[in-house]
């Protein structure tokens, strides 16, 4: 069989990192990324990019931990290299605070982030409305620079990238041997996945360079995440809302909630409002499927549905998807050598 041709549909953090992992695990493959939007116009560009996992109720915890650990280790190495500033990856320390002690005092990811510990009474004095808190250091991706860095690495390894909306995966079958579906919320239409739904998120990106620590309310709704140039203030979680229009009332509400956690934000300038749709499911869809039409077979690997935690687990799920692509290619090579006998 000639060099297997792989098409990755989608150019958010999942599509780009999956394409990169495929080039690493299958150097003989010819990889192409097809997407109707690239950075800065993807959901991944809107995200805060904090490595604090979201929990997927339908995925075993040991698997989620493995994905998070692989992602953390990968980004930690970048943060410790000369590439860190170009890739937009940096360490950030801060606090997750709770009005009441959480059910689980030790989240499953507590031994992956750095220096996880309960907050001291003295630290809690900064947050008079909160009774309990956790202090730790984690990583943050500044999303548009990280996506551009991934694109640059892909181009350097010879990956082609084309702007193209794919209406049906079958339209790719004559050009490619394996299709990888990383369409995010677009998979709702592309493969008709009714288990996939949007959770709308509105955030503010502000100039407040004096804010150096992250602060997150344990309810996950209100957060302050400092990046290299801008601080992300959030947020909202609106299930099944497809609206991409910012809501001015929500902007004021987010700003007020964040100022009550960090009063110095009243001096924030240059407030930009962004909205994104988290591609949500009970579990990430990470699986092989062989589509069949009139006796013709089309191997597909799905990797979508990362909801509120795509950045936190992207490298782990990309590695697993690349492994599944390897299995598809081995199956194709097996059947082509059997056909020659
Ligand atoms: P996307 O970025 O949406 O990429 C999908 C790609 O597929 C796009 O390029 C799109 O153009 C393309 N596409 C879709 N359909 C088609 C088609 N038919 N044909 C061709 N191309 C197609 N996660 C974290 O881990 N940490 C955070 O701090 C964090 N903060 C967030 C804050 C907000 C406000 C939001 C909205 C999300 C946040 N997330 C966070 C979640 C994270 O953004 C997502 O999990 C992640 O971006 C999903 O990536 P993706 O590549 O699957 O989707």
| Feature table: binding site for FAD | 43-44, 166
Indicate the length of the chain as a whole number.
341
- Each residue of 102-134: pLDDT tens digit? 888 899 999 999 999 999 999 999 999 999 999
CA 210/CA 279 separation, integer angstroms: 33
Domains identified in the chain and CATH numbers: 5-339 (3.40.50.720)
The b-or-e profile of 186-211 (16+ CB within 10 A means b, else e) is bbbebbebeebbbbbbbbbbbebeeb
Residue matched to tokens 């006998």: 341
Structure-derived torsion over alpha carbons of residues 80, 82, 86, 91, reported in degrees to the nearest 10: 20
Higher pLDDT, 14 or 2: 14
Ligand 1 centre from 334 Cα, in Å?
35
- Tell me what pLDDT residue 164 has: 98
Q: Is the pLDDT of residue 213 over 90?
A: yes
Which DSSP helix (H) or strand (E) runs through 320?
A: helix 310-340
- Tell me what pLDDT residue 335 has: 75
- Tell me what pLDDT residue 261 has: 97
* Residue to mutate (ligand 1; options 89, 92, 148, 183; most atoms within 8 A of CB): 183
Ligand 1 centre from 2 Cα, in Å?
33
- Tell me what pLDDT residue 337 has: 66
Among the listed residues 153, 197, 176, the one whose alpha carbon sits nearest the alpha carbon of residue 318: 153
- Tell me what pLDDT residue 238 has: 97
Task: State the chain's mean pLDDT as an integer.
Answer: 96
Q: Report the first-to-last Cα separation within the chain, whole angstroms.
A: 14
Q: Check pocket membership of 92 for ligand 1, CB cut-off 6 A.
A: no
pTM here is: 0.96
- Each residue of 21-71: pLDDT tens digit? 999 999 999 999 999 999 999 999 999 999 999 999 999 999 999 999 999
Q: Check pocket membership of 15 for ligand 1, CB cut-off 6 A.
A: yes
- Averaged pLDDT, 222-246: 97
- Tell me what pLDDT residue 81 has: 98
Residues pairing with 277 in the sheet: 200
Three-state DSSP state, 113: coil
Ligand 1 centre from 228 Cα, in Å?
21
Task: Output the residue whose Cα is nearest ligand 1's atom 15.
Answer: 186
- Each residue of 289-302: pLDDT tens digit? 999 999 999 999 99
DSSP letter at 22 equals H
């Amino acid at each position: 069989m000639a060099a297997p041709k792989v098409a990755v549909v989608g150019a958010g953090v999942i599509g780009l990192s999956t394409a990169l992992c495929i080039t690493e695990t299958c150097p003989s493959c010819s990889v192409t990324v097809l997407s109707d939007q690239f950075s800065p116009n993807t959901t991944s560009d809107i995200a805060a990019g904090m490595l604090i996992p979201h929990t997927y109720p339908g995925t075993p915890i040991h698997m989620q931990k493995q994905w998070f650990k692989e992602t953390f280790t990968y980004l930690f190495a970048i943060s410790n290299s000369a590439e860190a500033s170009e890739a937009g990856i940096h360490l950030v320390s801060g606090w997750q605070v709770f009005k009441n002690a959480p059910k689980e005092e030790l989240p499953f990811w507590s031994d992956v982030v750095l220096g996880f510990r309960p907050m001291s009474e003295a630290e809690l004095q900064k947050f008079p409305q909160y009774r309990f808190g956790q202090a730790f250091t984690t990583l943050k991706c500044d999303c548009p620079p990280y996506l551009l860095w991934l694109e640059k690495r892909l181009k350097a390894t010879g990956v082609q990238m084309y702007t193209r909306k794919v209406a049906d995966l079958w339209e790719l079958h004559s050009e490619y041997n394996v299709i990888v579906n990383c369409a995010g919320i677009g998979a709702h239409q592309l493969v008709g996945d009714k288990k996939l739904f949007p959770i709308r998120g509105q955030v503010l990106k502000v100039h407040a360079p004096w804010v150096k620590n992250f602060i997150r309310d344990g309810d996950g709704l209100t957060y302050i995440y400092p990046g290299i140039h801008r601080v992300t203030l959030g947020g909202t979680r609106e299930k099944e809302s497809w609206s991409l229009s910012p809501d001015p009332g929500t902007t004021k509400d987010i700003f007020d909630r964040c100022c009550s956690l960090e009063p110095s934000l009243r001096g924030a300038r240059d407030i930009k409002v962004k909205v994104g749709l988290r591609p949500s499911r009970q579990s990430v869809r990470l699986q092989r499927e062989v589509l069949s039409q009139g006796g013709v077979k089309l191997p597909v690997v799905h990797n979508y549905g990362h909801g509120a935690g795509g950045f936190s687990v992207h490298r782990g799920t990309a590695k697993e998807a690349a492994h599944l692509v390897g299995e598809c290619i081995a199956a194709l090579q097996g059947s082509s050598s059997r056909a020659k006998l």
